[in-house]
Chains A and B, each alone.
Chain A
């Protein structure tokens, strides 16, 4: 079945540091890939997505590239801010799963001033 593996947290960085959160997946067919963010006490929000190989999703300074050859969708940001502190979820959706979202376990990011 479909699965998503993302790096274990928590991740603690200083403001303006470079961020990478690794995400790899296993899926049938050609899934769409997503990063969702959950700020403290809130629901999830879509951060970015990519629907086919080599697509790059980007939003709010975050980027992720759909790499079919390595089945990866790593999240990066060049300079994090305190306001980026949140839990980040990598997810996929494929036709083989009846189009349900399968999430990774989430990575807690804390950015210190």
Chain B
């Protein structure tokens, strides 16, 4: 069984479009995250939700909007896509104490043309 799943795995789109990436975890965790990994493999957190409440919101353009309909889902919607948004986006989840392990999804490779 997949613990943290993301859809789609690959997303190719034109500049200016709006797109969404979905994330679901079946681990019963209460905290979920979105990370961006650039072409040089550098990973940076974007958002974190705990029990559907936003707790971390890094300096991310407001074109990016996370939405958590329930504890098991954290979706990422991106408006007016730009070339610089091309990256791999990872969803992750964790439970309980903050320094517990984060479980990562397989990633969504977004390419903006």
Where the two chains meet, the residues of A that have a C-beta atom closer than 8 Å to any C-beta of B are 32, 36, 38, 42-46, 49, 51, 87, 89, 93, 95, 98-103, 105-106, 108
CA–CA, A98 and B41, complex, Å: 23
Ordered by A's residue number, 27 sampled pairs between the chains whose C-beta atoms are within 8 Å are A38-B41, A42-B106, A42-B107, A43-B92, A43-B105, A43-B106, A44-B92, A49-B99, A51-B99, A87-B41, A89-B43, A95-B98, A98-B56, A99-B99, A100-B48, A100-B56, A100-B58, A101-B33, A102-B45, A103-B42, A103-B43, A103-B44, A105-B40, A105-B41, A106-B41, A106-B43, A108-B41
Encoded as 1 (CB less than 8 Å from any A CB) or 0, chain B from 64 to 92 comes to 00000000000000000000000000101
Query: Which B residues are in CB contact (< 8 Å) with A98?
Result: 55-56
Where the two chains meet, the residues of B that have a C-beta atom closer than 8 Å to any C-beta of A are 4, 33, 40-45, 48, 55-56, 58, 90, 92, 98-99, 101-102, 104-107
Q: What would 12 more interface pairs be, CB under 8 Å, given A95-B98, A101-B45, A106-B42?
A: A36-B104, A42-B106, A46-B101, A49-B99, A49-B101, A87-B41, A93-B99, A99-B98, A100-B45, A100-B48, A103-B42, A108-B41
